[in-house]
Amino acid sequence: MQKEILVVGTLGFDTVTNCRGRVDMVLGGSASYASVAASYFARTHLISIVGTDFSNGHFAPFKKRGVDTQGVKVEEGKTFFWAAEYDKDFKNAYTKVTDLNVFANFKPRILSSHKKCKYAFLGNIDPEIQLSLIKQMDGAKLITCDTMNYWINSNKKAVKKVIKNTDILFVNESEARMLTGEYNLIKAGKDILKLGAKHVIIKLGPNGAMFISPLGMAQLPPFLVENIYDTTGAGDTFGGAFTGYLASLPKWNTLYAIKNAMAVGGVMASFGIESFSINKLLELSQTKINSRLNKYKNGLRF
Amino acid sequence: MQKEILVVGTLGFDTVTNCRGRVDMVLGGSASYASVAASYFARTHLISIVGTDFSNGHFAPFKKRGVDTQGVKVEEGKTFFWAAEYDKDFKNAYTKVTDLNVFANFKPRILSSHKKCKYAFLGNIDPEIQLSLIKQMDGAKLITCDTMNYWINSNKKAVKKVIKNTDILFVNESEARMLTGEYNLIKAGKDILKLGAKHVIIKLGPNGAMFISPLGMAQLPPFLVENIYDTTGAGDTFGGAFTGYLASLPKWNTLYAIKNAMAVGGVMASFGIESFSINKLLELSQTKINSRLNKYKNGLRF
């Protein structure tokens, strides 16, 4: 029986300029990347909010991937908008515009049709909203949460509450250091466990990801991609695929399962960055995914 | 029959201050780390120069590891000295003093007893000296070379000549970028191949290492070490062990062999950073090395 997963986050329009060129008002937001990535591993239900400028055409990619969008509220107004410019070769992204628009009113409710979801990926949104969702998901088997520097700075108290109430926390290197004051990532990860996290994933960007938990530690390299088009959403793709893959297993909480999920997340992210927006993620197949996954895993056997 | 390897580089005294404390005038230099690391895999011959303050006691660790020090010239004067301070958790090393002392007169000659060495690791020294050594090693099967930003800035022409005449070049991330102007490390690595390198290893510090060559590409994570005492010499340890291990094989130039050598280099470096100076490297055994190596390799099978 296919497992059901809830993905919560932003749906938005992105304008991105980088060394590959520029795209205007393309589909973006953490939930776009995460839900499409998750959809290859579990039946995916999306919770988000969009404006009336979000057309049927914008919903089409999700429909194509069988993502249930009943939980996407359409509200009078404009959809979340983000504009950014990357420097040469994606070293840094400089945000030019963030217009929350209708997302400012996001008060997600879990629908009765979502009650069968025992797995969830909560993208990087206000930690208070993440907490309200965690409360609504009583009986969940796995809730993973992403966060970001903005929330750590503005509402660390709520972030700490999220940390205590989530199963797996995703942070990147600088967030791990910001949360703990530790430069060494193993120490930072262990300090996040002391804050009450059950398991921590530290995303290392071009260097893969690290897992720290009572189950053990692991650092895995990335799948090497030469022709990067856009790294936007790579972390969300990782998080969505990682969580969707774990949802598909009979038992997610073993180091073996987690390492496989990290491999799946990394491989899906490697596809994601080979195009702007979610274009490449939409045209995948189990065959393509398994082929790259095998290539990745075989590359680590020697 | 055990293979013979030549290790060339500095022997010196280090004064290091870091979050673990301070050590004064301890054994250091690229050739200390590299030769002791290599000695676990091949019969190691050392070429360097020291002052008359380098006592029998300083030679003892090399003797203990069976390293042939006939090629270490003792010259009237003082031994190479380096003092550095690391910031919290080894993010950066700040050099306080570099006294070349007798090393300023280093004009290494390969002795007749070295002629049987078909493998060499040339530590980070003047590229002109590396070139003279490469010339003297006619008929070598494998020469690996380390370099550093100082030489890339001051004598890029000679560094480029070394690149063309070495089998495997070691650089770190910033050196790869400095050499090529590319931020993306795959592109930088490929550009180094275009400069005439046969194979390139990019050392990623706490994120492991990357290999780029016509044989293929690979990125491997580090062996995770929690209790770091001193990262001085980690790259030299990696390079010495990597080259020594390759020397021990019937055929070194396959992707499979290189990945195993990267694992060996990473594992030896992981031991090296668990103490100041070469202390931990001196007390290893095949059993200890193989045990950690198996742990590392098994950790990548899932």
Q: What is the mean pLDDT of residues A142-159?
A: 92
Write down the mean pLDDT value for chain A: 96
Crossing angle of helices A56-64/A30-38, nearest 10°? 30
Q: Which residues of B touch A18 (CB under 8 A)?
A: none
Residue of B204, B207, B215, B245 best to disrupt the A interface, most CBs of A under 10 A: B207
Domain limits for position A274: 4-299
Flag if B260 and A89 touch (Cβ within 8 Å). no
From A67's Cα to the closest Cα of chain B, the distance in A is: 29
- Domain membership of residue B184 (yes or no) is yes
Task: Enter the ipTM.
Answer: 0.94
Tell whether B301 is covered by a domain. no
Domain membership flag for residue B302 = no
Q: Which residue of B has its CA nearest to A264?
A: B302
B184–A228 CB contact, under 8 Å: yes
> pLDDT by residue (tens digit) across B29-39?
999 999 999 99
Does residue A231 carry a pLDDT above 90? yes
Whether the pLDDT of residue A241 is over 80: the answer is yes
Return d(Cα A266, Cα A295) in angstroms, integer. Answer: 12
User: Does A260 sit within 8 Å of B88, measured CB to CB?
Assistant: no
B299 and chain A in contact, CB less than 8 A: yes
Instruction: For chain A, say whether B220 makes contact (Cβ under 8 Å).
Output: yes
Return the CATH number at B15.
3.40.1190.20
A256 shares contact with chain B (CB less than 8 Å): yes
Give pLDDT tens digits along chain B (302 positions): 689 999 999 999 999 999 999 999 999 999 999 999 999 999 999 999 999 999 999 999 999 999 999 999 999 999 999 999 999 889 899 999 999 999 999 999 999 999 999 999 999 999 999 999 999 998 999 999 999 888 888 999 999 999 999 999 999 999 999 999 999 999 999 999 999 999 999 999 999 999 999 999 999 999 999 999 999 999 999 999 999 999 999 999 999 999 999 999 999 999 999 999 999 999 999 999 999 999 999 999 99
Residue listed under structure tokens 């301890």: B26
Residues counted in chain B? 302
Q: Which two tokens stand for residue A127?
A: 């930690």
Tell me the backbone φ, ψ of residue B35, rounded to 5 degrees. -70, -40
pLDDT of residue B149: 87
Q: Residue range A121-136: average pLDDT?
A: 95
pLDDT attached to residue A247 = 98
Q: Which own/partner pairs from A274-277 qualify as long-range (CB within 8 Å, at least 24 positions apart)?
A: A274/A225, A274/A227, A274/A228, A274/A229, A275/A229, A275/A230, A276/A16, A276/A20, A276/A23, A276/A26, A276/A229, A276/A230, A276/A232, A277/A14, A277/A23, A277/A26, A277/A27, A277/A28, A277/A32, A277/A230, A277/A232
H/E element, B87: none
Q: How many domains does chain B have?
A: 1
Q: How many other C-beta atoms lie within 10 A of the C-beta of residue B109? A: 12
Whole-number pLDDT of residue B96: 95
Q: Which residue among A207, A220, A302 sits closest to B256, beta carbon to beta carbon?
A: A302
Distance CA B296, CA B284 (A): 17
- Residue A234 CA to residue A183 CA, distance in Å, equals 23
Contact yes or no for B219 and A219 at CB 8 A: no
Q: Mind listing the pLDDT tens digit for each residue in A94-105?
A: 999 999 999 999
Task: Using alpha carbons, select from A62, A81, A86, A84 the residue that is nearest to residue A72.
Answer: A62
B23 lies in some domain: yes
Residue B267 lies in a domain: yes
What percent of chain A shows pLDDT beyond 70?
100
* Digit-coded pLDDT (tens) for A155-167: 999 999 999 999 9
- How far is it, in rounded angstroms, from Cα B144 to Cα B134? 10
Local structure of B279: helix, strand or coil: helix
Contact state of B91 with A259 under an 8 Å Cβ cutoff: no
